[in-house]
Amino acid sequence: MNLEILIKYLFLFTVGLITGTCGNDKLPREWKQGVELPAIFPDYAGITIPPNIAPLNFVIQEPGEAFMVRLTSKNGNDVTIFSRIPAIRINGSKWKKLLAANQGEELNIEIFCQNKGIWSKFNTVRQIIAREKIDSFLSYRLINSAYVLWFEMGLYQRNLENFRESPIIQNKSVNGGCINCHSLSKNNPEKFMFHIRSDFPGTVIYNNGKLEKIETKTDFTLASASYGAWNPNGRHIAFSVNKINQNFYVFKGQSNEVSDKYSDLVVYDTQSNILTTSPEVSTRSRENLPEWSADGKTIFYISAGEATNDSTRMITRYSLMRIGYDPEKNLWGMPDTIISAKLTGKSITFPKCSPDGRFLVFCMTDYGYFTIHHKKSDLYILDLKTWEYRATNEINSDETESYHSWSTNGRWLIFSSRRLDGVHTRTFIAHFDETGKFGKPFVLPQKDPDFYNNYLHNFNRPELMTGKINVSPQKIRDAAREDAVPVVFDPKVNIDALSGASKIKK
Partner 1 sequence: MKPENFFYIVNVLIALFCFSFLSFAVNPSLHHQNQQIAWQSTDVFIHYFMVFAGGPAEYMALFISQFFYSNWMGSLIVSVFGFLISFFVFKSIVISGEKRHLLFFIIPLIQIILIALMCDYKFHFAVIFNLFVVSAFLFVCAAFQKTTGLTISYHNLIAGIFLYYISGGMYFLIFMVSSMLLLSFKSVKVLIINSSILLAGALLIPYLAHRYIFLSSLNSSFFRSTPDVAAMLRYGRPTLFYIALAIIPVVILLADINGLTTKFREKRISAKIKSTSKSRSQKALKPKYSSWDIAVAIQLLLLVVVSGYVLYKEFKPAEKLKCEIDYQANRQNWNKVLELSGNLKTYDRMVNFQFNRALMNTGQLLEKLFDYEQLLGSQGLFLDRPFASEVALPNSDFYFDLGNIDESQRYAFESETLMANSPRVLKRLILNCIIMNNPKAASTFLNVLASNPIEKKWVENYRQYTIRPELADFDSLIVRKRTDMNKTEGMIGDPPVKLIGQLEKNPQNKAAFECLIALDLLEHDLASLTVDFQYIEKLKYQKLPVVLEEAVILFRSQSRNNEFLNRIRISQQTTSRFNEFAKLTSAAKGDRDKAKQATQAFKNTYWYYVLFLSPKVTNVKLGTRPVEANY
Question: Candidates 116-124, 349-357, 431-439, 468-476 — which segment interacts with partner 1 by CB under 8 A?
Answer: 468-476
Q: Does 259 bind partner 1 (CB under 8 A)?
A: no
In this structure, what DSSP letter does residue 133 have? P
Nearer to partner 1, 21 or 499 (CB): 21
How far apart, in whole angstroms, are the C-alpha atoms of residue 310 and residue 324? 32
- Name every residue whose Cβ is closer than 8 Å to that of residue 264 and which is 6 or more positions away in sequence: 221, 222, 240, 241, 277, 281, 282, 283, 287, 500, 501, 502
Q: Does 483 bind partner 1 (CB under 8 A)?
A: no
- Alpha carbon of 135 to those of 44, 130, 185, 395: distances in Å? 20, 13, 14, 20
Nearer to partner 1, 80 or 256 (CB): 256
Q: Does 10 bind partner 1 (CB under 8 A)?
A: no
Whether the link from the prior residue into 232 is cis, omega within 30° of 0, is no
Q: Does 477 bind partner 1 (CB under 8 A)?
A: yes
- Alpha carbon of 215 to those of 155, 204, 223, 359, 491: distances in Å? 20, 9, 10, 33, 17
Q: Does 173 bind partner 1 (CB under 8 A)?
A: yes
**Closest by Cα among 18, 42, 22 to 417:** 42
How far apart, in whole angstroms, are the C-alpha atoms of residue 249 and residue 140? 27
Kindly tell me which residue out of 32, 39, 65, 147 binds partner 1, with binding defined by CB under 8 A: 147
Between 347 and 386, how does the x/- string for binding to partner 1 read (CB under 8 A)? ----------------------------------------
**Closest by Cα among 385, 196, 171 to 293:** 385
Q: How far is the CB of 437 from partner 1 (least distance, A)?
A: 28
Pairing mode, strands 210-215 and 202-207 = antiparallel
**Closest by Cα among 214, 182, 184, 191 to 201:** 214
Nearer to partner 1, 273 or 472 (CB): 472
**Angle at alpha carbon of residue 371, lines to 138 and 170, rounded to 5°:** 40
Q: Does 248 bind partner 1 (CB under 8 A)?
A: yes
Q: Does 149 bind partner 1 (CB under 8 A)?
A: yes
CA torsion, points 51, 57, 62, 68, in degrees to nearest 10? Answer: 80
Q: How far is the CB of 337 from partner 1 (least distance, A)?
A: 28
How far apart, in whole angstroms, are the C-alpha atoms of residue 271 and residue 268? 9
Q: Does 199 bind partner 1 (CB under 8 A)?
A: yes
Q: How far is the CB of 409 from partner 1 (least distance, A)?
A: 33
Q: How far is the CB of 460 from partner 1 (least distance, A)?
A: 13
Q: Does 499 bind partner 1 (CB under 8 A)?
A: no
Q: How far is the CB of 221 from partner 1 (least distance, A)?
A: 21
Nearer to partner 1, 52 or 180 (CB): 180
Kindly tell me which residue out of 61, 115, 145, 312 binds partner 1, with binding defined by CB under 8 A: 145
Q: How far is CA 435 from the centre of its chain?
A: 23
Q: Does 157 bind partner 1 (CB under 8 A)?
A: no
Nearer to partner 1, 75 or 453 (CB): 453
Between 425 and 464, how does the x/- string for binding to partner 1 read (CB under 8 A)? -----------------------x-x-xxxxx--------
Nearer to partner 1, 31 or 452 (CB): 452
Query: Backbone dihedral region of 175: left (phi > 0), alpha (psi from -120 to 50 degrees) or beta?
Result: left
Kindly determine how many residues on this chain lie close enough to bind partner 1 according to the rule CB under 8 A. Answer: 52
Question: Candidates 124-132, 248-256, 319-327, 494-502 — which segment interacts with partner 1 by CB under 8 A?
Answer: 248-256
Q: Does 144 bind partner 1 (CB under 8 A)?
A: yes
- Name every residue whose Cβ is closer than 8 Å to that of residue 143 and which is 6 or more positions away in sequence: 150, 153, 457, 458, 460
Cβ neighbours around 30 below 10 Å, total: 8
Backbone angles phi, psi at 93, to 5 degrees: -75, -35
Kindly tell me which residue out of 170, 218, 283, 427 binds partner 1, with binding defined by CB under 8 A: 170
Kindly tell me which residue out of 78, 106, 152, 326 binds partner 1, with binding defined by CB under 8 A: 152
- Alpha carbon of 364 to those of 181, 452, 497: distances in Å? 20, 26, 32
Kindly tell me which residue out of 22, 35, 146, 334 binds partner 1, with binding defined by CB under 8 A: 146
Nearer to partner 1, 322 or 477 (CB): 477
How far apart, in whole angstroms, are the C-alpha atoms of residue 384 and residue 359? 5
Q: Does 148 bind partner 1 (CB under 8 A)?
A: yes
Nearer to partner 1, 386 or 454 (CB): 454
Q: Does 35 bind partner 1 (CB under 8 A)?
A: no
Q: How far is CA 58 from the centre of its chain?
A: 22
Q: Which residues bind to partner 1, rule: CB under 8 A?
A: 2, 5-6, 9, 143-152, 167, 169-170, 172-173, 175-177, 197-199, 247-252, 255-257, 314, 420-424, 448, 450, 452-456, 472-474, 477, 481
